[in-house]
Structure 1
Amino acid sequence: MSNQTIYIVMGISVALIVVIGIVYYIMSKKMQKSEYKQIQKLQKGTKTSTFSAEVIYQKLYLIYSRTPFIKRYILKLRRRLEILNIDDEYITRRDSAKIMTKALVVLIPLIILTILMTKSNYLLMFILLMFEIFMIDILIEGSVDKKDDELLVQQIDFFSEIRHAYHEFNMVEEAIYQVSQDDEKEVSRQGEKIYEILISDDPETELEKYYDVAPNNFLKEFAGLSYLTKEFGDRKVDGASLYLKNVDNITQEMQIEILKRDKLNYVFRSLSFISIAPVLLLEPLKSWAVSNFSFVKNWYYGKSGMIVQILILIITFVSYILVRKLKDNGSVSMDTKNTENPWQAKVYKNKIGKKIVDLFLPKKGTKEYKKVSDLLKDAASPLKMEWVYINRICIAIVTFIASIFMFMYLHQVAIDYEYTQPTTDYNMLSGMTAKDEKKAMELTEQDNIYLDMFRGKLNTTTKDIEKALKISKYYKDSTSEEITTAAKRIYDKLQVVNSEYLKWFEILLACAFAILGYMAQIWILMFQAKMRQLEMEDEVMQFQTIILMLMRIERVNVEIILEWLERYSNIFKSQITRCVNDYEAGAWEALENLKNDISYLPMIRIVESMQAAVEKIPIKDAFDELDSEREYYREKRKESNDRLIKRKGMIGKVIGFAPMVCMFVGYLIIPLVFIGLTSMSSTFSSMSATTY
């Protein structure tokens, strides 16, 4: 990058900081009264300075929520923060604005730099800007995941304090209330919510509501165990409180989960950025190659270079999506999408849209319908069947249109290349001096006159071009041989220009790409389902811990255990849900059907133990091996997590580094080697011909 460009970037950055400072000042002085009163109510009497960060973030939230493009991200962000903050509007707005501001501070300079670096290539500029928009998701989800991890760490201390408070009060609700009042942390708000549930008039209903919004499974387990202990009472097992033993089990599960997340974050810490980094390096790499190896200039600025560039961008996009799916496939991840009334639902409510979608939607009861339905369950996707097909149709249409525009753009690139590149017969291995380049550009401008004259005339011959050259002022002193050579050169250019139009096979290719786009949604779901199968062992071990906590509680039966497993399941959720629904019609038959629906042996053994418990064998006897081999299962769980992380890390690195490898090999090494060898061979041939 030249010094002039650096000065421009620095000047724009300084100007941007000044503008932000002025905006902050104006907002603090001229904020609308109604908005300021609303903020004061949300603060609940807290008095802060007008220029405090708290108030600034509240005002920024109001601005972000009105800005069309940013509004989508701020709403998506607050949906997840609402869960962490238990609907505390003030804190949710503050955290949303804080995270969004940090993302914009990183993104805005990057966008400015991209525009400056790619101002001569509008297609690349557009694609780079689109990929930088994806970075907002990376920054936002990274920030929210960090808060989620902090909450998990706080829960360790929270449960430790619960132990001491329970020894003091010997009452579950009082212990939770006391600990929640002593802390100002995020977990204290969760504790207050659980306390309100336990003392409510209808705790079962309130508990079910909390299960839907709890930030993680461990708080669900704690709330459920606290309710069962309050309702059925505590008991001593081996001289210790069963309730506190179960709290210890949850704590140990959280410690395992924290270690798993830390290792997973370490493995994937930069893969999302690495997967999209090639799109930022394409233009600098091209500039470096052209400046150091002049013989590749024709390739990089021609049609072939653009095709490879587009292929790398497509590979980068696919890799980015797969890496995100691979990392965010954990059972405790929260989906921030609007699943109540998304744009797909609005399309399907439209009469015309519904008729079009129904043409593609498989009929209920057919093999295809069952196949897609099972795939959605296996992938734990929140999408409905009709939403999936709306996505598939839209992706196919967009892919077809984008393919047509891409082919048209490639034709235009080839035409522009003939009109703009220097015309010369110099040796490709040697560069051109400034004088030679100026002379070559003058020759190109002369050729362009005749290209415009004969463009579109498909029956033009070299004789027609020679006639035009003979009466031209540029060739009035030229020999017949020079005119023939020039006519041949212009004719070759004309053939390229006249042949660059949309062809029938390109429309067929666009249709083929549209079919690939139509299948992309299914392939992503299949990939997601495959990745979820890697976590099957981990989920079964979670089930074993849940059963271990429930098996010694009074009045707990197999049906209650199934309801708990359904609540915390992801991979086996559909099968367990079917079993719970059929349980009242026949417990043994429902469990037998569940056993037939699954093929994973450790899960089958759990179902067989539940069948034994249905036959009047006490639950604690049916699952006695879980208690006797508890340490073994815990160590096995840790080892299983390590294997899972290594396997995911290996797959993630292959996918994440694929675009970078393709860029260096396909966009740099192969062109340099192939074109260099071709040019060298041509040079030696010319030298041999000259010698003879």
Structure 2
Amino acid sequence: MDNAEIIYLILILLFLFVIVFAILCFALKKRLLFRETYSIYRTGSKNPKGNCWHQLYVFFSSFILTGRFLRSLTERYEVLYPKEGREIEKKAIKLAITIWVSGAVILAAFLSLDKSWYYVLLTVFYLYVLGNGLILFEEQKEKRKLLIQFDSFLSEVRQYYQMHGMIDEAIYEAMQLCKNPVKLHAQCIYDILNSTEEEKKEDYNSYIPDRFLKTFLNLCLIIQKYGDAEVKGQSLFLINIRYLRQEIHMEVLKKDKIRHLFSGLTLVAVFPVMFLQIIKNWAVSGLSQLDNFYSGTPGVLLTFCIFLLTFFSYQLLVALREERKRRLKDNAILRNLCSKRIISNLLDAILNKDYGRAKKKEEFLRLTGENLTVRQFTLKSLIYGISGFFICIFLIFFLHGANKELRLKAGDLPYTTSALSEKKAQDLSEVIISYTRKFLKGKATLEAIEKTIKEEGKIKEKYLQKIAAEDIYSRIKSIRGEYFKWYELIAALMVSTGFYYIPYAVLSLLKKGRQQEMEDEIFSFQSVILILMHIERADIAVVLEWMEEFSYIFKDSLRTCNRNLSEGEWEALEELKEKEPFKPFYKLIEELQNSDKIGLRRAFDDVEQERANYLEKRALDNEISIQEKAILGKAIAFVPFALTVGFYIILPFVLEGLDMYKVYIDQINGVGR
């Protein structure tokens, strides 16, 4: 069966799959409609279409692989659509089916071309790019929609609050004019404001990563608890609403500009690897000697390197384009592995060997926002290192196997056979391959090979018998030379060391983004202080308590400080400054210490000006950051293309040209002698 027939067969199977799937969906819908009509459990709020998606969600959730994938999608939608289970299930299963169908088309298209390791690797790579790209696109679209709706919601809240000065009523009335998803968040905030259960607020703050929603919630709670105040004839609550809307506008513009500048770069980065096999076939058809390069160790290594660098280029582009997610991850697997006795003893030995370095690593993890303990992070690095070692070992054995096959089936015969006809040369090549296989099984000498060839008489010409024997002997020596060598073990260990430091390198690259997050959190603290400084009952303990409510990055340090306040405010604040040396935060705590003597209002009289300066600085920083990201993104996107052109196309021709030039010089020297 040739490739065309395979393609037709796959297309027919895909068509039948779509037809069967549509029939099943239609039958399921009819069944649900019947149950909606006659079931004693029918309610007026149920939607048959929604139930159809729910049934599909339940069906695919029952399988291990699809169930895990659906749960991961569900978690992404839960932060956008709180308490809306059916809507979340519907969106998750729609996105999952889109990814699966698109993946099936890619799988069929690539595997119908060839079943070599290159097409398998290409298929896996593009399946990952497609799935990840669709998920990120859908997630960013939903987040942008939420931000725009939230801005309109704040405008309505401002208007209703000016009418009657009641926050909860303003939120309720504004909520009636909104659509999902912001309406769901508004309902959650309204329930929290009208509930005495502290758990509701903690639950909402724990799984909603958007800082704008958190800021609005906590501002509402402060005003509701302590009352609003006027500064220069304006409401503090409305002042903060205005600042919040300004930030939202900047964030939307930033996202839109980044999306515009990065459009097409991902395609540029992942496109070149698709043409490696085409380039190889074109080069070999023009110059058959290049097959030794492309099919041998250099070509295979170069192909793997291009795939690897393309993957890293894609990941870097995604990291530059997308925001870092601030949601805490569940590290249950690492936590469970760390509890195993053997692994625990190994980690103890590693960390106790250099305790000072372990403490520095712990501080580094805290400052970069990684929610892993130093033991878990060390185990993660070890897993990366071990994975890199085994990947390298697998690649080495794969290369040896490919080289053995290449040496065995080498098509180039000695130049003296060039006078033979094409059929004669092909027959001679097949005989040489069969003899090579035969003599590989035992000890073989050149004399024994020549004797066997003469006795069996498969090659009639005497001069060809000698040439064939020498060629067979050369191939056997080359094949037997393909074994695991000591320096390859050293190379694998070096690669393992490089993989070990990948988690550390990734966190180091995130340090700049981390600083911006810390500045955002300081801005949230200023929002708290701008309100509390005008409230008579507010003191240092109250300010720190609300700062902890707003905090994500400094939360652990602030919680420790709040616990230590009873033992002495000044000492607790000094310890907090030592633990968090970030300059804006350090200055804020110093001003808080001064407020004990001169009062909150006088100690923070420049906060409003600092907030205004911060917004101007943030607008400038966003512009500079976007331009830097765009320049870096373009450079990263063209790395795979440059590698493909420079190393996969030009380099083989250059090397082959140098080899031919060397042979030509040797022939001239031989004639001269």
TM-score (normalised: structure 1): 0.86
Quote the Cα distance in structure 1 between the aligned partners of 2:354 and 2:166. Answer: 53
| One of 185, 190, 201 as aligned partner of 1:195 | 190
Contact 1:348 1:357 (8 Å CA) reproduced: no
**Aligned: 1:465 with 2:460:** no
Displacement of 1:413 in angstroms is 0.6
Aligned equivalent of 1:296: 290
Quote the Cα distance in structure 2 between the aligned partners of 1:37 and 1:565. Answer: 53
Quote the Cα distance in structure 2 between the aligned partners of 1:383 and 1:488. Answer: 62
Quote the Cα distance in structure 1 between the aligned partners of 2:41 and 2:294. Answer: 57
Contact 1:128 1:280 (8 Å CA) reproduced: no
Single out whichever of 287-296 and 71-80 deviates more from structure 2.
Answer: 287-296
Aligned equivalent of 2:571: 589
Aligned equivalent of 1:484: 466
Quote the Cα distance in structure 2 between the aligned partners of 1:512 and 1:296. Answer: 30
Quote the Cα distance in structure 1 between the aligned partners of 2:342 and 2:32. Answer: 41
Quote the Cα distance in structure 2 between the aligned partners of 1:377 and 1:158. Answer: 36
**Aligned: 1:212 with 2:206:** yes
Aligned equivalent of 1:508: 490
| One of 218, 221, 244 as aligned partner of 2:215 | 221
Displacement of 1:655 in angstroms is 4.0
Aligned equivalent of 2:335: 345
Q: 1:569 to 1:664 in 2, by over 3 A?
A: farther
Aligned equivalent of 1:21: 19
> 1:121-520 residue pairs with structure 2 within 5 A?
121-122=116-117, 125-126=120-121, 128-129=123-124, 132-133=127-128, 135-202=130-197, 204-272=198-266, 274-328=268-322, 330=324, 333-335=325-327, 337-339=329-331, 342-349=332-339, 351-352=340-341, 354-355=343-344, 357-359=346-348, 362-363=351-352, 366-425=355-414, 439-455=424-440, 457=442, 460-479=444-463, 482-520=464-502
Single out whichever of 399-408 and 9-18 deviates more from structure 2.
Answer: 9-18
Displacement of 1:531 in angstroms is 4.5
Q: 1:630 to 1:512 in 2, by over 3 A?
A: closer
TM-score (normalised: structure 2): 0.88
| One of 109, 116, 139 as aligned partner of 1:113 | 109
Displacement of 1:634 in angstroms is 1.9
Q: 1:631 to 1:94 in 2, by over 3 A?
A: same
Provide structure 2 residue ranges, at least 5 long, that are not aligned to the other structure.
none
Give the percent of matched residue pairs that are identical in Structure 1 and Structure 2: 28
Contact 2:81 2:180 (8 Å CA) reproduced: no
Quote the Cα distance in structure 2 between the aligned partners of 1:41 and 1:67. Answer: 30
Write out per-residue CA displacement over residues 344-377 of structure 1, whole angstroms, 9 at most, x where no aligned residue. Answer: 334344x455446545552499223312322222
Contact 1:591 1:611 (8 Å CA) reproduced: yes
Aligned equivalent of 1:104: 100
Q: 1:30 to 1:90 in 2, by over 3 A?
A: closer
| AA matched with 1:419 | L
| AA matched with 1:133 | Y
Quote the Cα distance in structure 2 between the aligned partners of 1:440 and 1:560. Answer: 92
Q: 1:475 to 1:19 in 2, by over 3 A?
A: closer
SS at match of 1:474: coil
| AA matched with 2:428 | L
Contact 2:56 2:93 (8 Å CA) reproduced: yes
Q: 1:546 to 1:663 in 2, by over 3 A?
A: farther
**Aligned: 1:80 with 2:62:** no
Q: 1:236 to 1:211 in 2, by over 3 A?
A: same
Quote the Cα distance in structure 1 between the aligned partners of 2:368 and 2:540. Answer: 27
Aligned equivalent of 1:674: 655
Q: 1:192 to 1:398 in 2, by over 3 A?
A: same
| AA matched with 2:160 | A
Quote the Cα distance in structure 1 between the aligned partners of 2:31 and 2:292. Answer: 62
Aligned equivalent of 2:645: 664
Quote the Cα distance in structure 2 between the aligned partners of 1:199 and 1:546. Answer: 21
Single out whichever of 8-17 and 91-100 deviates more from structure 2.
Answer: 8-17
Quote the Cα distance in structure 2 between the aligned partners of 1:35 and 1:580. Answer: 58
Write out per-residue CA displacement over residues 77-105 of structure 1, whole angstroms, 9 at most, x where no aligned residue. Answer: 11121121113110110111122222223
Contact 1:166 1:175 (8 Å CA) reproduced: yes
Displacement of 1:25 in angstroms is 1.9
Displacement of 1:681 in angstroms is 4.6
Contact 2:207 2:327 (8 Å CA) reproduced: no
Aligned equivalent of 1:46: 45
Contact 2:122 2:274 (8 Å CA) reproduced: no
Provide structure 1 residue ranges, at least 5 long, that are not aligned to the other structure.
none
Displacement of 1:47 in angstroms is 4.8
Contact 1:422 1:437 (8 Å CA) reproduced: no
Single out whichever of 652-661 and 402-411 deviates more from structure 2.
Answer: 652-661
Contact 1:83 1:214 (8 Å CA) reproduced: yes
Q: 1:535 to 1:343 in 2, by over 3 A?
A: closer
Contact 2:219 2:237 (8 Å CA) reproduced: yes
Contact 1:419 1:444 (8 Å CA) reproduced: no
